[in-house]
Structure 1
Amino acid sequence: MLQLNPPLPMNTPKGEGFAHILIDYGPESDLYWTVLITASGEIWTFANRDVRASKNITLGRVSPGSPQDDSAPIQMRPRNRDG
């Protein structure tokens, strides 16, 4: 179990939230993310396959798919290494 500091913004089946805890049961199991849902304040734990990283323009993640829609294309822009 790992407490995330800072928490990571995520898209979940319950809406957007922040993952505060990561649980790893080992190589035979999914990772599990404990997420505080922003809109409702609920706390849920989701399997790795059920969550996605939130949008982050700085890192080039401009339109991540929702956990329910894996068919959404991933649009990444190349990073400028010159500054």
Structure 2
Amino acid sequence: MLQLNPALPLNTPKGEGFAHFLIDYGPESDLYWTVFITETGEIWTFANKDVRASKNITLGRSSPSQPPRAPARGVSSEGRGPALVPLNGKDG
């Protein structure tokens, strides 16, 4: 786990926020970003594939793509109950 200093602005499925921690479980897992969501104050951890760098005109990033929106709270994308994210980044 790495504490980011300064925190990095990111776009997430829950909205814009600042990443304060980066978690690396090793070469066979995604990186995980712990983000404090600006609008709600919630703290969420997202897989690397679910976040995008925020807009930065100085660096030529004027319109970064938006990550996919999060499914409805508490329901998996298949609609069969709670959405669970494995801590080790693996499905099985």
Normalized against structure 2, the TM-score is what? Answer: 0.73
In 1, the alpha carbon distance for the partners of 2:23 and 2:39 equals 23
Cα drift, residue 61 of structure 1: 0.4
Residue in structure 1 matched with residue 33 of structure 2 by the alignment: 33
Residue in structure 1 matched with residue 75 of structure 2 by the alignment: none
In 1, the alpha carbon distance for the partners of 2:18 and 2:49 equals 16
Residue in structure 2 matched with residue 54 of structure 1 by the alignment: 54
Aligned structure 1 segments of 4 or more residues deviating by more than 4 angstroms: none
In 1, the alpha carbon distance for the partners of 2:45 and 2:17 equals 11
Q: Aligned AA for 1:15?
A: G
The share of aligned pairs that are identical, in percent, is 83
Structure 2: stretches of 5+ with no match in the other structure: 70-92
Count the aligned residue pairs: 69
Q: Aligned AA for 2:9?
A: P
In 1, the alpha carbon distance for the partners of 2:26 and 2:59 equals 29
Cα drift, residue 68 of structure 1: 1.7
Cα drift, residue 67 of structure 1: 0.5
3-state SS of the aligned residue for 1:66? coil
Q: Aligned AA for 2:58?
A: T
Structure 1: stretches of 5+ with no match in the other structure: 70-83
Q: Aligned AA for 2:52?
A: R
Instruction: Give me the CA root mean square deviation.
Output: 1.0
In 2, the alpha carbon distance for the partners of 1:31 and 1:23 equals 6
Normalized against structure 1, the TM-score is what? Answer: 0.81
In 1, the alpha carbon distance for the partners of 2:57 and 2:38 equals 20
